[in-house]
Amino acid sequence: DSGVTQTPKHLITATGQRVTLRCSPRSGDLSVYWYQQSLDQGLQFLIHYYNGEERAKGNILERFSAQQFPDLHSELNLSSLELGDSALYFCASSPRTGANTEAFFGQGTRLTVV
């Protein structure tokens, strides 16, 4: 158990809908990263938050947004969903934003858009 909690574990929704994925980082971790993993693909970096502030943005679609709250949990909002958004979404946390920190991954949320 990495200590990172993601909910829900599975989500099935229709095209055009909006969903929110939630991530609770490890206790004390200030950094939260979001990644998208499509079937048999690598991990695509979406966004990084540190202590409530956005620090880096990857290939995140405009239909997607995220935020990190004062209690450090984070939410990834996906709207106007398309079939191609079906993927495994991982959240990872690390203690700080320095260079030499490993990332601890949650179990992921499997999103299926039908």
Partner 1 sequence: GQQVMQIPQYQHVQEGEDFTTYCNSSTTLSNIQWYKQRPGGHPVFLIQLVKSGEVKKQKRLTFQFGEAKKNSSLHITATQTTDVGTYFCAGRTAGNKLTFGGGTRVLVKP
The residues binding partner 1 (CB under 8 A) are 2, 33, 35, 40-45, 48, 55-56, 58, 90, 92, 97-100, 102-108
Number of Cα atoms under 13 Å in the Cβ half of residue 74 = 33
Which backbone phi and psi does 84 adopt, to 5 degrees? -70, -10
Work out how close the CB of 41 gets to partner 1 at its nearest, in angstroms, rounded to a whole number: 7
Q: Which is nearer to partner 1, 19 or 33 (CB)?
A: 33
What's the min distance (Å) between Cβ of 65 and partner 1?
Answer: 18
Token pair of 14 as six digits:
């229709």
Q: In terms of CB distance, is 60 or 79 closer to partner 1?
A: 60
5 vs 79 by CB, closer to partner 1: 5
Q: Are strands 10-13 and 109-113 parallel, antiparallel or unpaired?
A: parallel
> Would you say 91 and 74 are in contact if contact means Cβ atoms under 8 Å apart?
yes
How near is the Cβ of 15 to partner 1 at its closest, in Å? 26
CB-nearer residue toward partner 1: 52 or 79: 52
Q: Which of 23, 47, 44, 43 is nearest to 33 (CA)?
A: 47
Q: Which two tokens stand for residue 9?
A: 């574990």
CB of 54 to partner 1, least distance (A): 12
